Structure 1
């Protein structure tokens, strides 16, 4: 292959988790559904040429890291979102830019709402 696209985007979309994040006691007991979206920018030149998973950013591992962070209870979406972003950078030095969005579905806001989300980029 003679194509060079040094930067590529990997997206893990609509990962769904049941977790216990929130400031209210009930949220820590009952839990809630969360949706996580990850966008990662990385150099894809080597895996494009080699077709070898060892040369690529392993998005199975990305999913596993996100799942691990979602299992740790946080009061704030900002906190869990920042933890996910930090662990991705710690485990994948080839990340050039990342966006992490965590959404709490049907949050207890005293009215009908589909979701509330926090997005962090680095």
Structure 2
């Protein structure tokens, strides 16, 4: 078996955060969902069964949580901050796919959410 690429993912992580252009959103906050797909070399962990040989998704969550606690105006800025923090904390990440969704955005539409999606080769 020849493995072409390997990924770690975290799907549907919910946060209450203070991201928004309006003062009310930055004061009251809103609910957000983060989906991550991280290209990471996990072949060694597949053989050793040791967490030290992989990317610990609990540690990834803590990095994302820390970023989401910082108030900003734009989802785009928050998404960039997540990518930069992950790359700094885990330099062996090869690529990052991130979706950041604001639930119930204040735009007068009946929708699940609105957000940004970015794909970065590290």
Q: What TM-score do the two structures reach when normalised by structure 1? A: 0.92
Moved beyond 4 Å, runs of 4+? none
Give the TM-score taking structure 2 as reference length: 0.92
Deviation at 1:4, TM superposition (A): 5.2
Q: Distance in 2 between matches of 1:5 and 1:43?
A: 10
Q: Contact between 1:7 and 1:45, CA under 8 Å: does it hold in 2?
A: no
Q: Is the 8 A contact 1:6 1:45 kept in 2?
A: no
In structure 2, the residue matched to 1:46 is 44
Q: Size of the alignment, in residue pairs?
A: 120
Give, in whole Å, the separation in 1 of the partners of 2:58 and 2:49: 16
Residue number in structure 2 paired with 1:103: 101
SS at match of 1:89: helix
Does the Cα contact within 8 Å between 2:104 and 2:111 map onto a contact in 1?
yes
In structure 2, the partner of 1:33 is 31
Pairwise CA RMSD of aligned residues?
Answer: 1.3
8 A contact 2:26–2:72 mirrored in 1: no
Gaps in structure 2 of 5+ consecutive residues: none
Q: Aligned partners of 1:112 and 1:30: how far apart in 2?
A: 20
State the match for 2:6 in structure 1.
8
3-state SS in 2 of match to 1:23 = coil
Looking at structure 2, the residues matched to 29 and 74 of structure 1 have their Cα atoms a distance apart, in angstroms, of 11
1:33, CA displacement in angstroms?
0.4
